[in-house]
Structure 1
Amino acid sequence: MKFKSTPNRCIHHEGEEIWISRSVTVLPVLFFVSKGIRYVPLGKRGEDLPDGVGQWGLPGGYLDYDETATQAVYREVWEELGLDIPQLLEDFRFEGDLTHPYEVYSTPLRRQNVTLKYPIMFYVDEAELPRLAPQVSQGEVVEARWFELKAALKMPLAFNHHEVMEECLNRYYAIDMRKY
């Protein structure tokens, strides 16, 4: 896939790392249902990242200067997992919203000021889960792997992504995972 966005830049000034970005991140909360079981694709964060190195987490990242939030969701999922959302939309049933986040989280933590959380669930029915193939260096994503959702919710994920997933399931999909 090709993207037309202008990547964010990092500069170093007087020993400080300064990111030139829009200070907005997208967080696709991505689920797949295959053969009646819910799965989540997670990436293991690489050593070139400033936080959460070695931890598993959802794909996501900064909104580039000249892209929409939806374009950023497509790009981040492609870069970090190798999943082509437009193709998945053609191939499988989809439930969620790629144009409006279910939550706008606006607490200045770390480097971003605003996080846009998008609910994304694909039903692949009897098909195999799509192959995961990160398109970025191992310094960013060491590997990507499928996890059964129940197991992922018990993992100590980067940035409390297990809590983000549970909240999305409860608020957007009205699924209470404590019953499973």
Structure 2
Amino acid sequence: MVKIRSCPHCGKDIEVYRNPTPTVDVVILMPSSDGDGVVLVERRNPPLGWALPGGFVDYGESCEAAAVREMKEETGLDVELVGLLGVYSDPARDTRQHTMSVVYIGVPIDPSAMVAGDDALRAEVFPLGKWPELAFDHTKILSDFMAHLSENGEDGRIDGPLTGA
């Protein structure tokens, strides 16, 4: 979408573009002897509710680095990104603004380090397929993740660790 505005310095017409805002989310697969689960956070800020941990990509930051940073900030977990689940870009996925999320699959390096932080009231592990109502389009994302697991095996890995540019 392009808008025309007047330059505040010279008065000439300039084009101003509105683009989706890049975000990242991570489906953290938490291994357990009782059955695997995924980490969800209860959001501290609107829109309220349970969601995958994630957030906005900072300027000058790769999506992979943002994903690792956001996981540490929201869950206390250092994660290894083991796959790319997909890109979710429905303009209605976030009621605040048009976002485009790069969604990764991750595994925690030390699962015992999990603690809610930053924008999260709580961080909890929910058994696969047994999560509460979710914010954003995270129900769709987790449905896609479950399909991925049934097609690719239980550890969620695609082709080994991801590294960002």
> Do these two structures clear the TM 0.5 threshold for a shared fold by scoring above it?
yes
The counterpart of 1:143, out of the listed 106, 117, 122, is 122
- 1:78-132 per-residue CA deviation (whole Å, 9 max, x = no partner) reads 11111012xxx4xxxx8x32xxx3312222233233111112246x8xxx94232
Shift of 1:38: 1.0
One-letter amino acid matched to 1:104: V
CA distance in structure 2 between the aligned counterparts of 1:24 and 1:172, rounded to whole angstroms = 26
The counterpart of 1:71, out of the listed 65, 80, 84, is 65
Consecutive unaligned residues in structure 2, runs of 5 or more = 1-18, 154-165
Greater C-alpha Rg: 2
Identity of aligned residues (%): 27
Confirm whether residue 50 of structure 1 aligns to residue 46 of structure 2: yes
- Cα RMSD (Å) of the superposition? 2.8
One-letter amino acid matched to 1:145: E
Give the alignment of 1:160-175 within 5 angstroms: 160-171=137-148, 174=151
Alignment coverage as a number of residue pairs: 133
- 1:41-65 per-residue CA deviation (whole Å, 9 max, x = no partner) reads 111111xx231x1x11110111110
Whether contact under 8 Å (2:77, 2:111) holds in the other structure is no
Confirm whether residue 115 of structure 1 aligns to residue 117 of structure 2: no
Whether contact under 8 Å (2:30, 2:125) holds in the other structure is no
TM value normalised by structure 2:
0.68
Moved over 6 A (4+): none
